[in-house]
Amino acid sequence: MNETVFTNATLVLPDEVRQGSIVIRDGLIAEIGEAGATGIDMGGDIIAPGLIELHTDNLERHIQPRPGVDWPHSAAIAAHDAELAACGITTVFDALRVGSIITSNSYAKYARGLADEILAARPHLRISHRIHLRAEICSETLIEELAEFGDADRIGIVSLMDHTPGQRQFRDLSKLAQYVKGKRGMSDAEFADHVAGLTELRDRFGKEHEAATVRAATAWGAVLASHDDTTAEHVQTSAGYGIRLAEFPTTIEAATACHAHGIATIMGAPNLIRGGSHSGNVAASDLADGGLLDIVSSDYVPASLLTSAFMLGDRWNDLARGFATVTANPARSAGLTDRGQIAPGLRADLIRVARVEGTPFMRETWVAGKRVA
């Protein structure tokens, strides 16, 4: 029997925050006790569940640290994993795009190969990695790329990504132009061709690609998510597909409709921290104030997940509720029943945090009772 006791800790429990101790036995939370127990003194620091990230593009940043630079993938995966562990993330769904545009070489195929590399690296990684497939509706090869995956890949989430210009995330084409030109160095003429090409692909393949994605997610038992719902009609369509997770709804109208249909909403921590969306869409804080924010994703800044938990805890005057948006709520939405809370019988995925003048500082991270950062 392998047993560890943390004492003199500020515990973030499902419905309250209080002083206490935790007994970890064989990688699981065995007991929650009073503060006076004998064990490793946490000095009053916060002990919370490990953070759960459902949608991150962070691995892409490690694979391509500069435009045109393709970093060795095994090294990139290891660096990505270490960064997440240091930020308190103990479970991640790595987002990989499926659906490429071969004729113009705009988006090269990569998901199957990178998924294989992640799967091969799993025994050596610090935290729990799962796969999130981002199904690009505006593409040429989505159906054949979906066919390369199966039950053995343990796909956790599949999201319907419709990036048709002029709707959803980029209803404002000027915002899309700013984003794409800045990221890919396009000229005005190249941007016009980009818009026309994506629109043509949506017209040609949209319905077929949506249906194929829904079938694949259902066959794998994966959670099906929508992306950038903007109108009540979008949400109605999502509900018809059986979607129960809405990534980054762009309007209060869409978020309200999601809740009416029992669909959990996920918003970006950078949106919350910056005070608004870089695309000009609804602010995450507005959804939080309206009771319409369920889950937070770090999206492209891993450290933002922990900061957002405290920001929401302060905003709601309820730290347990703030942490639930990055722990219990994403666990429940992703079908993970063995983690996301400090409770007996669950995995000892835990983080230790000190808060100094309002700023959280990560101290330690444990995965299944083992210290990984």
pLDDT the model gives residue 200 = 75
Q: pLDDT (tens digit, 9 = 90+) per residue, 226-255?
A: 999 999 999 999 999 999 999 999 999 999
Which secondary-structure segment (H or E) carries 133? strand 128-136
Closest of 238, 145, 163 to residue 199, by C-alpha: 163
Which token pair is 72?
A: 């060795």
Evaluate the CA torsion angle 190, 196, 199, 204 in order and state its sign: negative
Selection from 124, 142, 60 nearest residue 94 by Cα: 60
Q: How confident is the model at residue 164 (pLDDT cuts 50, 70, 90)?
A: low
Fold of 56-335: TIM Barrel (3.20.20)
Q: How confident is the model at residue 101 (pLDDT cuts 50, 70, 90)?
A: confident
Q: Measured between alpha carbons, how far is 150 from 217 in angstroms, rounded to an integer?
A: 10
Span 165-210, pLDDT tens digits: 656 566 655 555 555 555 566 666 666 666 677 777 777 787 899 9
Between 76-80, 136-140, 144-148, 152-156, the lowest mean confidence (pLDDT) is in 136-140
Of 349, 336, 366, give the one whose Cα is nearest residue 156.
336
Residues 6+ positions from 72 with CB-CB distance below 8 Å: none
Percent of the chain with pLDDT over 70: 89
Look at residue 177 in the predicted model and tell me its pLDDT. 55
Q: What pLDDT band is residue 215 in, cutting at 50, 70 and 90?
A: very high
pLDDT tens string 325-346: 999 999 999 999 999 999 999 9
pLDDT grade, residue 163 (50/70/90)?
Answer: low
Q: Quote the pTM value.
A: 0.91
Looking at every residue in the chain, the average pLDDT score rounds to 91
Question: Residue 175's pLDDT is what?
Answer: 59
pLDDT at position 154: 87
Residue 242 backbone zone (phi > 0: left; psi -120 to 50: alpha; other: beta): left
Q: What are phi and psi of 32, to 5 degrees?
A: -120, 120
Task: Decide which of 1 and 75 is more confident.
Answer: 75
Instruction: Report domain extents, the chain.
Output: 56-335
